[in-house]
Amino acid sequence: MVALNLVNRLNKRKQASDQVSELTINRLSVYLRCLNELDVAGTQTISSQALAEQFRLNAAQIRKDLACFGEFGVRGVGYYIKELRRDLRQILGLDRHLRVVIMGAGNLGLALADYPGFRQEGFEIAALFDAANEKIGHESRGGVPIYDIKALKRLARRERLDIAVIAVPAPHAQPVVDVVVVAGIKAILNFSPGALKVPGDVKLKSVDLTVSLESLSFYLARGKETRG
Amino acid sequence: MVALNLVNRLNKRKQASDQVSELTINRLSVYLRCLNELDVAGTQTISSQALAEQFRLNAAQIRKDLACFGEFGVRGVGYYIKELRRDLRQILGLDRHLRVVIMGAGNLGLALADYPGFRQEGFEIAALFDAANEKIGHESRGGVPIYDIKALKRLARRERLDIAVIAVPAPHAQPVVDVVVVAGIKAILNFSPGALKVPGDVKLKSVDLTVSLESLSFYLARGKETRG
């Protein structure tokens, strides 16, 4: 019965996963972060309402997002935290070890290499790559080695590399992305401003840090209007 | 006539700005980024359709988001790029100079201090703050000075500081946020993992870099399912 439920849920999950939006996926990550905290604190179960209240989320949205992937939670009990955490990790593909390389060993690349959140969720930062001779052969404070960018293709042939993070200055971003694509890496997280081109079978996600600052700016401007 | 239109639009904007979602604001930032590129390229006007196609956005969404703030664009012409750019900057509160301080002069803080996108949109990175004696008195590669965190309150009294960016390790985040709040800064951008507490009149926005990696992980897992 439990096994059948799981099969049903996984089938449902498979069908659903093609239609869910990137925003839903982002929210699943946020839910997972909350469940991690609750799990560490020793909490066993939680209702969507309590989860929403504790982490300033939306209970209806939580239920709707989870419904894309099957049936979770038990009426009158809520979610079993360890179980939902395991399911979310599986949905997000975090149940297998993902190997990440960071292109660019400047301040941003070094900061990302040692960012504690990545390791916590099972991402392994396998290496940094740079073109500057004085950096090659050294490592980040956390011990991630810095290789010559020319060695990326060779490393990618020898070991599985899942995701490349682009942390180079804007003028170098497209050439570096081209190197990553040639090396056969199919997922790219870009921190460089400006548009980048990738082939259709490569997933590119850009993080624009300015967007976050601007939404604070909007809030400050609105606050002024309301007060004055 | 033009003046009356502007007054109408600004009134509409004022009413609307209380109800628009953070996602709309984030998208306005993205539109602004696209308009900047078009402006630099010398383009004069663009339709929502062409804007969407060129930057892989959604034309209906663009029109809906802008409609929250008034009437933009001219039937049969599209948007005047310079004009819409100016309006978006005003809506986002970027028409005034915003002063930002960064708490923590580690790799992440130093990377953010010299992040070119911030300066481009009119944010001034006024200072970095750290508690480590060996960093205080130095500056970032781009010339942002590093001060003693104990000097924040004094600086905040002397000069207007609009936004504080938290770039310290997780265990220091809450105490540093408390210092920022006491200094009277009303907007905080947090890069540290974990939940933080602020008073009701302070706007806190957290950037979790793991979320972006996890959405790539989901894509990779789904790609595997579809292929195999």
ipTM of the complex model? 0.78
Question: Worst-scoring range by mean pLDDT, A208-212, B78-82, B89-93, B158-162?
Answer: A208-212
Question: Worst-scoring range by mean pLDDT, A43-47, A158-162, A211-215?
Answer: A211-215
Alpha-carbon gap, residue B75 to B20, rounded angstroms: 25
Residues sharing a CB contact under 8 Å with residue B63, sequence separation 6 or more, in sequence order = B48
Alpha-carbon gap, residue A125 to A165, rounded angstroms: 10
Region A2-91: CATH code = 1.10.10.10
Asked if A23 reaches chain B (Cβ–Cβ under 8 Å), the answer is yes
Query: Is pLDDT above 80 for B101?
Result: yes
The whole-angstrom distance between residue B44's C-alpha and the CA centroid of its chain comes to 25
CATH topology for the A98-211 domain: Rossmann fold (3.40.50)
Percent of chain A past pLDDT 90, that is, above it, reads 58
In terms of Cα–Cα distance, which of A87, A85, A67 is closest to A15? A67
Report the 10 Å Cβ neighbour count for B40. Answer: 8
| pLDDT confidence of residue B7 | 46
Highest-confidence segment of B7-11, B18-22, B146-150: B146-150
Alpha-carbon gap, residue B117 to B97, rounded angstroms: 14
Give which of A121, A211, A214 to mutate to test B binding, by max B Cβ within 10 Å: A214
Q: Are B139 and B105 in contact (CB under 8 A)?
A: no
Mean pLDDT of A58-86: 92
Are A207 and B203 in contact (CB < 8 Å)? no
Residue type at B48 in one-letter notation? S
Query: Is pLDDT above 60 for A147?
Result: yes
Signed CA dihedral, B224, B225, B227, B228: sign only: positive
Residues sharing a CB contact under 8 Å with residue B159, sequence separation 6 or more, in sequence order = B99, B126
For the beta sheet containing A163-166, the strands, ordered from the edge strand earlier in sequence to the opposite edge, are A146-148, A123-130, A98-103, A163-166, A187-190, A203-206
Mean pLDDT of A139-163: 96
Q: Where are the domains of chain A?
A: 2-91, 98-211
Mean pLDDT of B62-69: 92
Are B23 and A26 in contact (CB < 8 Å)? no
Q: Are A92 and A28 in contact (CB under 8 A)?
A: yes
Residue A20 or residue B197, greater confidence: B197
pLDDT bin (cut points 50, 70, 90) of residue A6 is very low
User: Pairing between strand B45-46 and B79-80?
Assistant: antiparallel
- Distance in Å, alpha carbon of A13 to nearest chain B alpha carbon: 10
Q: Which pLDDT tens digit goes with each residue over B1-19?
A: 344 444 445 444 544 445 6
The whole-angstrom distance between residue A136's C-alpha and the CA centroid of its chain comes to 27
Tell me the count of A-B CB pairs closer than 8 A: 210
Which residue in the block uniquely carries the two structure tokens 């989901």? B218
Query: Is pLDDT above 50 for B165?
Result: yes
A151 token code pair: 């060695």
Average pLDDT, chain B: 87
| pLDDT confidence of residue A21 | 79
pLDDT bin (cut points 50, 70, 90) of residue B226 is very low
Chain A 87-116, CB below 8 Å of chain B: which residues?
91-94, 96, 98, 100, 106-108, 110-112, 114-116
Q: A2-91 with A98-211: one CATH topology?
A: no
Report the 10 Å Cβ neighbour count for B178. Answer: 13
pLDDT bin (cut points 50, 70, 90) of residue A227 is very low
Q: Are A191 and B213 in contact (CB under 8 A)?
A: no
